[in-house]
Structure 1
């Protein structure tokens, strides 16, 4: 696909077509990494590390385990 670079304030911008955004998982405010490779501009979404519940639970120790928290009496149709 060919498009044009546009002026945006003091910077330049390229619109990302919806089909490209959908295919790459890009949304408004998605962090991206931009690099120059072989004379071309490459934009990739920044993905955080995938963390499983097991990974998180592995980090629970007697030192950082908190006790029960009293949230007060039931307000709606909570079941205690």
Structure 2
């Protein structure tokens, strides 16, 4: 499959045919990693980062926490 690198703003850009995206299993707005190796550019999907709530909460300490914060009185139909 042939494509042409063109200018998009101040950057070079490569338009990928939909058929190539589908065949590779990629989709629009998917985050990818670009790897440059031996004169080639490799596009591979980023690994999905999964967070563990217990681990995140466990990282909260007195030194990195904050006190309660108020935004003032309701100005519309906020549910309180």
Q: Same fold (TM over 0.5)?
A: yes
2:23 corresponds to 1:24? no
Consecutive aligned runs of 4 or more in structure 1 exceeding 2 Å deviation = 11-15, 21-28, 34-37, 39-42, 45-55
2:52 corresponds to 1:52? yes
The alpha carbon displacement at 1:79 in A equals 2.7
- TM-score by structure 2 length? 0.57
2:6 — aligned with what?
A: 8
* Aligned mates of 2:32, 2:42 — CA distance in 1: 14
Q: How many residues align?
A: 75
Listed as ranges, the gaps of 5+ residues in structure 1 are none
The alpha carbon displacement at 1:76 in A equals 1.4
RMSD (Å), alpha carbons: 3.5
